[in-house]
Structure 1
Amino acid sequence: MAWSVYLSGEIHTDWREKIIQGCKEKGLDIVFTSAVTDHESSDAAGDGLGVGDTSFWRDHQSAKINAIRIQNQIKKCDIAIIRFGDKYKQWNAAFDAGYCAALDKPYITLHAEDIIHPLKEVDASAQAWARNTSQVIEILDYVLNKS
């Protein structure tokens, strides 16, 4: 039976593709899901409801529409990988980690050492902290294949 892995976090690098490819090369039976990673499409998710008079209402509507997908995928996943990048603050990823923790859903954080301190609470609830995609792939391989 395939595992479901939800990939959350920054959208400006190819970390998702590296994990997906690495797991494919190991023959891991995994179905990957994610939020919409096209920034413009995600920001416009609520535009069909009518554009509000401020950027707050546009963001609010789109966040709610995006949450339909995100919450369902997190609830259905076996584990989430939550990536925090270097360039931008991923408040949405921190929220996803909190949602996983509230649901008692296991997750792995993926980030550089220089942001350990601001992510200490997020990491404290994670099952693992990885510094690179290779470590994530090894964890998934272990969880799925070791008896």
Structure 2
Amino acid sequence: MQINVYLAGQIHDDWRDTFRAHAVEIGLAVNFLAPMEVHERSDNVGEDILGVQPNPVMKDEVASMMNNLRTRVLVEKADVVIAYFDTSQYRQWNTAMDAGIAIGMGKPLILVRDATKHHALKEISNRAQVTVETPEQALQALQYIFE
């Protein structure tokens, strides 16, 4: 059996690469899906497809349309969604949005957040199937599916 796992979270560092590498190390039969991980491409995709926009707001709007399409299609294909709220300085609105999409679609959700984010994420945590504090624990939860 192989499952599809969507990795929701910020795109400012290589956490997904580390997560994928650990999954390979422990032999998980997992196909990973993710948002666009090249920040510049994510920001510019709307103009790349629809042409130059008249102002920054419209540039953001058309990029959002394309990124939301991608997210919707890939979350739909996912068997499990992992929403990782790391401890970086970045606001993680996209992670919350992706978690909400997964919940709305009835997709199983593993929420990864440390104790400092408990209060801010309590509603998402309440709707997740599993809440863990580290990516390693999320991998162990995935591994349990295969036992």
State the TM-score bracket (shorter-chain normalisation): over 0.9
Distance across 2 between alignment mates of 1:132 and 1:14: 15
Matched ranges for 1:1-147 at <5 A: 1-48=1-48, 49-86=50-87, 87-144=89-146, 146=147
Distance across 2 between alignment mates of 1:22 and 1:127: 22
- The answer on whether the counterparts of 1:111 and 1:132 sit within 8 Å (CA) in structure 2 is yes
- The answer on whether the counterparts of 1:79 and 1:106 sit within 8 Å (CA) in structure 2 is yes
Q: CA deviation at 1:79?
A: 0.1
Q: CA deviation at 1:15?
A: 2.1
- The answer on whether the counterparts of 1:19 and 1:136 sit within 8 Å (CA) in structure 2 is no
- The answer on whether the counterparts of 2:79 and 2:108 sit within 8 Å (CA) in structure 1 is yes
Deviation digits for residues 58-84 of structure 1 (CA, Å, limit 9, x no counterpart): 111001111221111101100011111
The answer for unaligned runs of 5 or more in structure 1 is: none
Distance across 1 between alignment mates of 2:137 and 2:84: 13
Distance across 2 between alignment mates of 1:25 and 1:50: 43
The answer for unaligned runs of 5 or more in structure 2 is: none
- The answer on whether the counterparts of 1:44 and 1:62 sit within 8 Å (CA) in structure 2 is yes
**What percent identity do the matched residue pairs reach?**
34
- The answer on whether the counterparts of 1:18 and 1:133 sit within 8 Å (CA) in structure 2 is no
- The answer on whether the counterparts of 2:99 and 2:109 sit within 8 Å (CA) in structure 1 is yes
SS at match of 1:45: helix
